[in-house]
A and B are shown apart, each in its own frame.
Chain A
Amino acid sequence: MTLEGPIRQVETALASLANAARGAAGWSDTQRHVFDRQRMEPLAASGARLLGALQKAQEQCAKAETLLSGR
C-alpha cells in the first residue's frame, strides 16, 4: 500500500534513535536528560510529526485507491 514503506522507515528510525539514546548509558542521568530534552526530543518530535503526516496521507491515498478500484 502507498506510503507503507516510508511509514515503516520512520518507525524504524524513531526506534533506532530511542535505542541510541538508551545506549548512551555511560552518561549520567542529568547529562542524558538535558541532552535528550535539548537535542533528541526535537529530533524525535520531527519524526513523530512526519509519521503522523505520512499516516494521514496514506489514509487519503487509500480512499483514492478505493475510489479508483470501483469498490
Chain B
Amino acid sequence: MSDDAVRAEVNAVRALRQGVDRYAEQIRDALGHARREVAAADRIAQEAVERRRSEAQRREQEFRRADAALRQCQENCAGAQRQAASAAERLAEAKHHLERARKAAQLTASAQSDLLRVLQTIEASVGEHSSVASSALANLDAKLAALPKFGLSHAIHNAAVGTAVGVEMFGATMNLGRITGDTLQAANLNTPLRDHSITEMVEHREEQERDYVVEQDFESKRRMSSEEGRETQP
C-alpha cells in the first residue's frame, strides 16, 4: 500500500470520527428539543383543561341560576325559559370543550410518556455506540498519525516484518506492537486479519500482545532450561 493510500485512510478515519461525533451531538440536540416540545404540548393541553373546567363551572352556575329563576317564575315565563335554554346550551358546549381538552391532554400525556421512555433508551444507546466508535477511531487515528513521522512505507514494512524489528527501529518511545495489526491492515497484507475491520484489529491487538509476551516468556524459559541442561552435562 502506498503512502497516499495510508494518508487517505487517515483522512477517512478522521472524517468518520467527526461524522460520528457530529451525529451524536445532533441526536442529543434533537432529544433535548423533543423533550421541550412535547412537554410544551402537554403543558398547553393541561392548561386548556383547566381553562375549560373553569368555564364549565361558570356555565354550570349560570345554568343553575337560570333554572332556579325559571322554577320560581309564576307568569310570563317566556324570557326565563329562553335564558334557561340558552344557559343549558352554553353549559353543554362548555362540557363538550372540556371533554375535548381532556382527550387532548390524555393524548399529549401519553405521547410524552411514550416518547420519554424511548428517548431515554435511545440516548443511552447512541451515547454508548458513538463513544465506542469514536474511541476506536480516535485510537486508530492516533496510531496512523504517528506513522508519517517515520516514513509510511518504511513503517509499514517494519510492521509487516515483525514487532521486535519495529521496536528496535523506532525505539522504546513508540510501541509498534500496538500498531502492528493496524498497519498490516493498512499495508493490505495477506494475514489472518485481512478480512477484519480496523476496529476488530484494534481489539485483536491486545490479544496479539499477550501472545507475544507468552511467546517471549516461553522462549526465555526454553533458553534457561537448555543452558541448565548444558551446565549439568559432564
A→B interface (CB under 8 Å): 2-3, 5-6, 9-10, 12-14, 16-17, 19-21, 23-28, 30-31, 34-35, 38-40, 42-43, 46-47, 49-50, 53-54, 56-57, 60-61, 63-65, 67-68, 70
Contacts and interface: CB of A to CB of B under 8 A. Distances in A.
- Interface SS of chain B: helix, strand, loop or mixed? helix
Interface of B: 5, 8-13, 15-16, 18-20, 22-24, 26-27, 29-31, 33-34, 37-38, 40-41, 44-45, 48, 97, 100-101, 103-105, 107-108, 110-112, 114-115, 118-119, 122, 125-126, 129-130, 132-133, 136, 185, 188, 194-200
Given A43-B126, A63-B107, 5 more contacts: A9-B33, A16-B22, A16-B26, A57-B114, A61-B107
A5 to B, nearest CB: 6
Contact of A6 (B30, B44, B188): B30
10 contacts: A2-B40, A2-B41, A17-B19, A20-B22, A23-B15, A25-B12, A34-B200, A40-B133, A46-B129, A61-B38
B23 A50 contact: no
Contacts of B44: 68
Contacts of B18: 20
B34 A23 contact: no
B153 to A, nearest CB: 17
Please report whether the interface of chain A is mostly helix, strand, loop or mixed according to DSSP.
helix
B20 A28 contact: no
B200 A43 contact: no
